[in-house]
Structure 1
Amino acid sequence: MTMNANGIVAEIRKGIAAGEYAYGARLPSVRDLAERYGVSQQTAAAAYAVLTALGLTRTAAGSGTTVAAGPSADAYLGTYAPPDLTQGEAWQPNGSGGEATEETYLVRQSTAPVEWVEWGFTEGSDVVERHRVRRVDGVPVQHKLTALPYEIASRRPEGHEGVPPMLAPVGAPPMKPPHGMRAADWLGWTVDRTRCEITAEPMDPAASEALGMPEGSPGFRVVSIAKTAEGDTLFVTVTTAPLHHRVTMEIQG
């Protein structure tokens, strides 16, 4: 079986999460790992470097690479209901300030891959992807993917003519809801609840490219899944940021 460094990282992460590799267990040497997956020792060493950056393993002279984490645990923090969602503020730089800008650089219709099934999409169904890059003082700091079923993306707000806002192509003037109205309400989306999942893991190719970082670099990944009362997925946002950044959110009430 041949794979790249990211594939090796994913396999070992699954093993650690499932308890197959116990805390403190010694993992194969770089040479043995390379032979197991049919890759170069450089690729195997790169995989261990990512696992160490994620805090899953540690490498020490004389003792090799050992597991530094236990089985996966989901720390569910509870359910919160802000009193007025229209008061939410858009993203902004933390602490040091700086000029914040945001650009949509890719809008496309595609089909949902198998990886999106866990978000509530049907594999192969028609979806719309919107990719944005956020910058502070011109430096890319976040990549944001918004994914939603085509049927949802094609809806127009009441009284709106022309291209539906979520299908607006790159370069089109931004279309925003009236002041004081949530975008979801403006678009006629009935959001019952949103689940957020925050992990640290290798960046996917789209985020790596947008942020100008090597593919597979460790980063924060914040997945927000908006659902209807019936449990259908309205939209999903995936925000990716390098590990040296902070990701914060304020909940009112």
Structure 2
Amino acid sequence: MDAHTIAEEIRRGIANGDHPHGSRLPTVRALAEQYEVSQQTVSAAYSVLAALGLVRTDRRSGTRVAAGRSADAHLGTFAPPDLAAAKPWKPSDEAGQASEETTLVRQIAAPKYMGAWGITEGSSVVERTRIRSIDGVPVQHKLTVLPYEMAARTPEGYEGVPPMMAPVGAEPIRPPHGVRVADWLGWDVAGTQCSITAEPMDEAAATALGLTSNAPGFRVVAVTQDTSGSTVSVTVTTAPLHHRVTLDIVG
């Protein structure tokens, strides 16, 4: 048995929840005896898993699992006009307790890199960060960026803090069942363009997911524009590489 085969078996165990987040994996010597291979082969397998951001190894604590069970980075259900069946995200096998928490809401001047999303540098934007977890283990980091004029919209007849600007700790304000947020807030939405890449995570996402800086992951950028081509919203979803990225297109 070679190093990649051993690494794949352990990776599947992590994805299935057999090796929970934070748990300690066998020592190199013990695993070498289990698979009847050299310690060098096991060390190479652990190196493969570490390169994927799935484990961490140090002299004091040994090799520990740094990722949670596999989950879908589900982009949503796209079907006009009723979204009653939409499932924004879920564990891959429908097992485990899913939860979501807003960890950041702030108004800032758009940095230069947002120009790639059609947002003018220096313009006022609102950032919202949500962490999605399964059984208490973070599995997705989701950043939403909205031009201030979009974030400040409220539904007709609604009084109170705009839903997109609700502070951390506040109860989520959601549209009626089956109604898109865009329709509820009166946004002019013409379409959304998604780009999916596998690349090193940025520091904020890696920290939120309990991974080392620059750990590899999926980065899903969805830019929604109106009929004039102006950006309405941007979402950036980051997930470890052993997750899946899915979406449904209906009609």
Q: C-alpha distance in 1, partners of 2:114/2:87?
A: 28
- Secondary structure at 1:206 match in 2: helix
How far does residue 82 in structure 1 lie from its aligned partner after superposition?
3.3
How far does residue 176 in structure 1 lie from its aligned partner after superposition?
0.5
Structure 1: which 5+ runs fail to align? 1-48, 55-79
Find 1:243's aligned residue among 241, 244, 247. 241
Find 1:82's aligned residue among 71, 79, 82. 79
Match of 1:148, as an amino acid? L
Partner of 1:141: 139
Find 2:174's aligned residue among 173, 176, 201. 176
- Secondary structure at 1:147 match in 2: strand
Q: C-alpha distance in 2, partners of 1:250/1:243?
A: 20
Find 1:228's aligned residue among 226, 229, 248. 226
Q: Note if contact 2:82-2:178 (Cα within 8 Å) is conserved in structure 1.
A: no
Partner of 1:207: 205
Between the two proteins, the alignment pairs up a number of residues equal to 179
Q: Note if contact 2:78-2:248 (Cα within 8 Å) is conserved in structure 1.
A: no
Match of 2:155, as an amino acid? P
Match of 2:151, as an amino acid? A
State the structure with bigger RCO (CA 8 A, min sep 6), 1 or 2: 2
Normalising by structure 2, what TM-score? 0.67
Partner of 1:101: 99
Q: C-alpha distance in 2, partners of 1:180/1:81?
A: 12
Percent identical across equivalent pairs? 61
Larger deviation, residues 204-213 vs 141-150: 204-213
Q: C-alpha distance in 1, partners of 2:176/2:242?
A: 36
Normalising by structure 1, what TM-score? 0.67
How far does residue 88 in structure 1 lie from its aligned partner after superposition?
2.2
Q: C-alpha distance in 1, partners of 2:167/2:78?
A: 34
Q: C-alpha distance in 1, partners of 2:239/2:194?
A: 15
Match of 2:175, as an amino acid? P
Partner of 1:19: none
Partner of 2:115: 117
Find 2:154's aligned residue among 156, 162, 166. 156
How far does residue 93 in structure 1 lie from its aligned partner after superposition?
0.9
Match of 1:212, as an amino acid? G
Match of 1:82, as an amino acid? A
Larger strand proportion of the pair: 2
Q: C-alpha distance in 2, partners of 1:83/1:174?
A: 24
How far does residue 216 in structure 1 lie from its aligned partner after superposition?
0.8
Q: C-alpha distance in 2, partners of 1:166/1:83?
A: 22
How far does residue 152 in structure 1 lie from its aligned partner after superposition?
0.8
Match of 1:138, as an amino acid? G
How far does residue 206 in structure 1 lie from its aligned partner after superposition?
1.1
